[in-house]
Amino acid sequence: MPARVVLGVGAGISAYKAGELLRLLTEAGHRVKVVPTKDALRFVGEATWAGLSGEPVLTDVWTGIAEAPHVKLGQEADLIAVVPATADLMARAAAGMAGDLLTATLLMATCPVVFAPAMHTEMWLHPATQANVTTLRERGAVVIEPAVGRLAGKDSGPGRLPDPAEIFAVITSILSQPETGNDLSGRRVLVSAGGTREEIDPVRFIGNWSSGAQGYALARTAVARGAEVTVVAANVALPDPAGAKIIQVTSAREMLTAVTEAAATADAVVMAAAVADYRPATRKAAKIKKDGQQPEPILLTENPDILATLAKYRQDKLDRTHQKQVLVGFAAETDTSPQAAKAKLARKGCDLLVVNPVGGGLGFGTADNEAVVYGMDGSVTEIPRGPKEALADVVWDLVAARLR
């Protein structure tokens, strides 16, 4: 549904990327009012914003003063996105200052507010900036973690503006589920995504068809709901979800190491990756060549059960600290019978098991998905076929209820 969006533009070199976000918002049918700061216009001029939005650009509180523009903008907006959000701009917003139209509008806002920070690494990591980010999040704003990459000049590190398409995905998720609000704010969540690969030799592997799309959809929707998100991604060739920390792995054993380390501080863990059950018992050091003879059989050995391992670690943690962690497993199955699902749920020891059918145009490599979620408490939640983001939101609904 079309929405009224205020796009606040901070004075950073990545302001030009906000133009791509503006294009995505307008093409989706949203009405966008651009509110750049005075110094932001040094990077991208007023004519550009007016041309891309098809709306007058609002730059100060004095133009149209009879209509009190900051009051009108803040009251009428369905969402405010600040892109890029500079250290100075977030500091002023956290302090409740209203020295320009954008910060005054933020003080009037009762709608969701999204900050997409962009700055040099040292500025992002400075205790003052981190304190301001914490304050904004505590007040209900979504502050997307910046990406890691090339910054202005020759510097590189955390502080890069996330890809505009990924920021757009976060905004879309918030607008599509306004009733969830920031129900994961302050929570740390871990998501696994993709499909593991087990090497046979230097050029071949045992793998599966998972693209990581469902795991990345879970990450995006968790970011939109205010969570601090870590993704352990196995062989995923998709753009990184905005605001999520990505840990790249290849094999099941690498995933086990990364997941168990990250899970130690997570409030919720969602294992959406397709993990290989077996691996070759030995990896050939050289490529296996075709020589006209019958090849040697490839002997397999069982991989560790990551979900069951996490359940055991969780129980140990509960015994020590009494802090409960919500654990969710995914099962891509050809046998989706309730009997098989409940037996697997009991065997794995997780709180929720999301059983999704594969084959026949469902599951791997598709834009949509369907599932039945079985709970250890006996609950059964059916999720009809639809976008993977919609399935992700239902999963987080169930997780959020258990975290409460």
Q: Is 369 helix (H, G, I), strand (E, B) or coil?
A: strand
329 strand-pairing partners: 271, 353
In 3D, which of 334, 331, 391 has the Cα closest to residue 367?
A: 391
Three-state secondary structure of 147-209: EEEECCCCCEEEEECCCHHHHHHHHHHHHHCHHHCCCCCCCEEEEEEEECCEEEECCEEECCC
Question: Six-digit token pair at 104?
Answer: 């005054």
Q: Is 270 helix (H, G, I), strand (E, B) or coil?
A: strand
Whole-angstrom distance, CA of residue 392 vs CA of residue 394 = 5
Whole-angstrom distance, CA of residue 40 vs CA of residue 42 = 5
Asked if residue 126 lies in contact with residue 132, where contact means CB atoms within 8 angstroms, the answer is no
The catalytically annotated residue of 132, 208, 235, 356 is 208
CA torsion through residues 225, 231, 236, 242, sign: positive
Read off φ and ψ for residue 187, nearest 5 degrees: -95, 145
Question: Six-digit token pair at 145?
Answer: 């973690």
Active site residue 356: no
Cα 371–Cα 377–Cα 383 angle in degrees, nearest 5: 15
Amino acid in position 387: P
Long-range Cβ pairs for the range 147-151 (8 Å, 24+): 147/240, 147/242, 151/120, 151/121
* 54: region left, alpha or beta (phi > 0 left; psi from -120 to 50 alpha): left
> What are the catalytic residues?
208
